Amino acid sequence: MPLLMVLLTLFVSNSNVYGQLPGLPPSDPSDTTMIFSSPRPLISDTNIFRARKQGFAGELYLSTHGFGLGLGYQWALSEQMVVSITLAGSGARNTDEFEVFDRFGIYVPNKVNRLLMFPLLFGTRYRLFKDDITESLRPHISAALGATFIMEGPYQGHEQNFFGSLPDARWYTRPGGYLGLGANIGNFGGGNALGVEIRYYSIPFGGKGLESIKDLPIENFGGIFLCLNFGVIN
């Protein structure tokens, strides 16, 4: 009997004992790691497009006329086509207008009128190379047509400020539009992005034009504009 107990003790001590610690899976060499793949892309162009189909957008302009601001509303008709309506405001002047300082303040020599223009345009934007270029850079072409409201207010140097000239201002309406080339950059959530465009505006006044500087009338209120768009979609 003692010999039997010794043999049982030796057998147990030489055996491999498998245990399970709390919180750990059983040590089974037959277990394998299984990886499941999604049947559809987790992020796709369609998901980005569906995030935003319409919304407001602001614009900042820089041209030989100076700075301008605009506000518009846009609708995405597809992943490549967007239509919009925009109202903008900008000064209109000759490129050779220089302000002069004297003891009375600031004035522009030979200036006879303050000119402002407000284009109200219906536009479209079409995305290029959708399947060939990364989503972080989306080039496009654009075009717009509409009406431009032009204000002509008398300029009297130190004697009258901008608001003082408004009661005597005259208004004109002229057709206008632009062609543009640019790109939308990035995606800041909800389909929003930043856009950069170079546009050529054509806003012919006709006749003898309007004078900002005496004897130097402006016959076309257009030109090349650098435009920054904020909150654009697609």
Task: Calculate the alpha carbon distances from 92 to 12, 134, 153, 183, 220 in Å.
Answer: 100, 38, 12, 27, 10
Q: Give pTM, 2 decimals.
A: 0.71
Cα distance from N-terminal residue to C-terminal residue, the chain: 89
CATH class for domain 48-232? mainly beta
Q: Which residues pair with 89 in a beta bridge?
A: 69
Span 127-146, pLDDT tens digits: 888 776 766 778 999 999 99
pLDDT class for 64, splitting at 50, 70, 90?
confident
Closest Cα partner for 74 from 66, 64, 84? Answer: 84
Give me the pLDDT at residue 27, please. Answer: 56
Contact between 89 and 136 (Cβ < 8 Å): no
Specify the higher pLDDT residue, 222 or 158.
222
Instruction: Kindly state the percentage of the chain with pLDDT values over 90.
Output: 38
Taking residues 51-77, report their average pLDDT. 88
Give me the pLDDT at residue 112, please. Answer: 83
**24-38, 85-99, 123-137, 170-184: least confident range:** 24-38
Rounded distance between C-alpha atoms, residue 152 and residue 227, angstroms = 24
**48-57, 114-123, 187-196, 218-227: least confident range:** 48-57
Helix (H, G, I), strand (E, B) or coil at 63: strand
Q: How many Cβ atoms from other residues are within 10 Å of residue 108's Cβ? A: 17
Over 90: is that where the pLDDT of 164 sits?
no
Give me the pLDDT at residue 18, please. Answer: 47
Span 176-219, pLDDT tens digits: 999 999 998 877 656 677 899 999 999 999 888 998 888 889 99
Taking residues 1-22, report their average pLDDT. 50
Closest Cα partner for 228 from 6, 72, 45? Answer: 72
Q: What is the full DSSP assignment across 174-212?
A: EEEEEEEEEEEE---STT-EEEEEEEEEE-B--TT-EEE
Over 70: is that where the pLDDT of 5 sits?
no
Rounded distance between C-alpha atoms, residue 120 and residue 144, angstroms = 10
Handedness of CA 214, 220, 222, 223 (dihedral sign): negative
